[in-house]
A and B are shown apart, each in its own frame.
With several copies, the nearest count.
Chain A
Amino acid sequence: MKRVYLDYAATSPVKDEVLKEMLPYFSDVFGNPSSVYSYARESKKAIDKARDIVATTINAKAKEIYFTGSGSEADNWAIKGVASALKNKGKHIITSKIEHHAVLHTCEYLEREGFEVTYLDVDENGFIDLVDLENSIREDTILISIMYANNEIGTILPIKQIVEIAKRKSVLVHTDAVQVYGNILIDVIDLGVDLLSLSAHKIYGPKGVGALYIKRGTKINSLIYGGAQEMKKRAGTENIAGIIGFAKAAELAIENIEEHATKLKKLRDKLIEEITKTIPHIRLNGDPIKRLPGNVNICFKYIEGEALLLSLDLVGIAASSGSACTSGSLDPSHVLMAIGLTHEIAHGSLRLSIGDFNSEEDIDYVLEKLPEIVQRLRDMSPLYEEVIGGN
């Protein structure tokens, strides 16, 4: 059976070049980089180089890149770390209703610890209202955390403008750029953000490695205390192979970013156009223009997302509904609710996220299979019965 993977926004396979780069660091160059002897010096050098590479890809300095164990850890660290460091200055944080759970659940935790959090509403495409943002900033606001692009609906948010507003009031800005990295060129200087989260496994690097960019001089406490690793800010023996893999993946991603984005956009637009043409009763979620190059998110009315996913899986297509990370839950995605969908419609969402290994044939295969699957499920649906009955 043909197998088509269209869930790159959830995770990506490690590229061969990346794995190849990692291999020597498991058993050969394995020394603890904090040590004195020469084994360790090789590890240390490799990590220094990796830090340099990752820094360069986002126009940061090496000393501003701190490796973590995941994108989630980077998000948790940014928010809790600033909250803890600045709690005497204020206890108010601003974020949006469409953030990743790594941001939202961290904010909810802080609320339980006595912080106040404003969750900004978004419009039907997922944009926050900048006036709303400005009005939400208070004397005691210490951090604004708004994602660079949403993982479910693909909408790209105007971080630079957000930073401008925040800077007028001297408030720190964190952005979760996990989905943007490798798809749109990130320039931390141009953006002006103070903190920015990255994750390796979304850009064909290994899972279990992320990074937090911390602009020089930003006050932040640690999340993981212990040894003096990561310039004394993040303890734990360095995941050398993982870090090397992250750097290689980052290098490849930025090298080919134009080509990659152009290809993905082409496939994305074909998918959206053809689905729109051939399947009625649908809704495209997320901004049609300001959207991640590989993101397609569509609600198919009258049917339910998981049934759709299972059906696609039966013909070899891997996709997701809502967000992969929350699929333990039965509630429809908080993002789809935030953009104003009814439960009924939100339940029928499908995210197809395109990546480097997809071909035009993959897209054609989806376009061949999807209409009949949707039709089959609709034919089973009492909601659809009402609609066609009404004709």
Chain B
Amino acid sequence: MYSEKVMDHFSKPRNVGEIKDADAVGQVGNAKCGDIMKMYMKIENDIIVDVKFKTFGCGSAIATSSIATEMIKGKTIKEAFRLTNRAVADALDGLPPVKMHCSVLAEQAVKTAIYNYAQKNDLYFEELEGFDPDDLECHH
């Protein structure tokens, strides 16, 4: 049911863990829905120099977290904003339809972490216009 890519990221997830002195932390999802993703970032000069995640969730939730961290590591915040759920799913050679929400969660986790960074440092990003982590809901 899962692509080899998904299974690879599930069984050998990249960037698992936490960053103690993270500049940005974002957590999305909830246990009721069965998925929680938490992302930690180190950010230097608008560049995401390090990123780690912890995920409670199914195989594809873990795989999407893993690939999402890979896709934004070393990238600028601007570039990270361009990470869509589609891009995450495509990078995994697709996800089963019932699992597409996992890729949405990954996109939101990244955004929420940057939102946290913006809040802490009083920064403005137009990409966060209207975005509020508290509005996110479990969509399935």
Contacts and interface: CB of A to CB of B under 8 A. Distances in A.
Asked if A pairs with B, the answer is yes
A311 B37 CA distance: 19
Interface residues of B, number: 27
B1 A41 contact: yes
Contact of A380 (B2, B7, B62): B62
A302 B56 contact: yes
B13 to A, nearest CB: 7
Contact of B32 (A303, A306, A343): A343
Contacts, number: 68
A347 B33 CA distance: 9
Interface in A103-139: none
Interface string A361-391: 0000000000000000001111111000000
B54 A385 contact: yes
A286 to B, nearest CB: 21
A330 B31 contact: no
A383 B54 CA distance: 9
B10 A344 contact: no
Given A303-B56, A304-B56, A307-B59, A382 B34 contact: no
SS of B interface (majority):
mixed
Interface in B115-130: none
B36 interface: yes
Given A330-B98, A343-B31, A344-B31, A382 B58 contact: no
Contact of A382 (B1, B13, B54): B54
A382 B35 contact: no
A217 interface: no
Nearest to A302: B56
B34 A380 contact: no
Nearest to A329: B98
Contacts of A325: none
A383 B34 contact: no
Given A304-B61, A330-B140, A343 B34 contact: yes
A347 B30 CA distance: 12
13 contacts: A36-B1, A304-B56, A304-B57, A305-B58, A310-B58, A314-B11, A330-B33, A343-B32, A347-B31, A382-B27, A382-B54, A382-B55, A383-B36
Interface of A: 36, 41, 44, 302-307, 310-311, 314, 328, 330, 332, 342-344, 347, 379-385
Given A304-B58, A381-B56, 9 more contacts: A304-B57, A305-B58, A306-B59, A307-B57, A328-B98, A330-B33, A343-B32, A379-B16, A380-B62
